[in-house]
Amino acid sequence: MRHPYLLLLIPLLIFLIFGLSIAPLEAASIRAEVKGSYFNPSDRAFKDIYGRGATYGAEAGLKLGRFIGLWVAAESFSKKGKMTFTQEETTLKIMPLAAGLSGEFPLGPVSPYVKLGLGYFHYEENNILGTVKKNNVGYLGQVGLIARIIGPLFLDLFGSYSVCKVKPIELEADLGGFKAGVGLGLQF
């Protein structure tokens, strides 16, 4: 696809078509959170070279009505590893920018939720062979539980799975995998 970032507009269009007709605007609230998670890549070769590790990021969302929301998030994963044959040092940075729709189910002080979205994954690999910088679109899903602490402060416990297939040179790899994490945020 010539402009894969245009796929990020799909959740926004769905929201505009369906979300505004379902939820009244006067019930809108804004969320912002910082989050950290433990990333377990699904690709075996990726895991052999770089292993698992921490990701950090931020998320902002617009909750409309009781159930529907729209969100955007940015994360960063950076790790050093050893190349398979030469054992030379190699570094990898993955920075996905994601957007999508969420459904939340308030149950008093806690609210389980589900999120679906598209991500624009920028990655950069640097080693003795050179530097590869590429971008690709991926998909992600997340389930979690928001617990209100006090006032606008909340805790977000979540698990997610993402898929982003890339082919930097000759081998195809998946930059996605499982994440489990926690976020701390404010909702107004």
pTM here? 0.83
Q: Work out the average pLDDT over 46-55.
A: 92
pLDDT at 133 over 50: yes
pLDDT the model gives residue 170:
66
Q: Judge contact between 185 and 151, C-beta under 8 A.
A: no
Could you report the per-residue pLDDT of 11-28, keeping only the tens digit for each? 555 555 555 544 444 456
Could you report the per-residue pLDDT of 164-175, keeping only the tens digit for each? 998 866 678 899
pLDDT the model gives residue 5:
53
- Main-chain phi, psi angles of 120, to 5 degrees: -105, 105
pLDDT the model gives residue 23:
46
**Who wins on pLDDT, 69 or 86?**
69
Domains of the chain listed by start with CATH number: 4-18+27-187 (2.40.160.20)
H or E element that contains 47? helix 44-50
pLDDT the model gives residue 104:
95
pLDDT the model gives residue 172:
82
pLDDT the model gives residue 150:
95
Would you call 123 helix, strand, or coil by DSSP? strand
Q: Work out the average pLDDT over 137-148.
A: 97
Q: Work out the average pLDDT over 123-137.
A: 90
Would you call 88 helix, strand, or coil by DSSP? coil
Could you report the per-residue pLDDT of 102-114, keeping only the tens digit for each? 999 999 899 999 9
- Main-chain phi, psi angles of 52, to 5 degrees: -105, 170
pLDDT at 148 over 60: yes
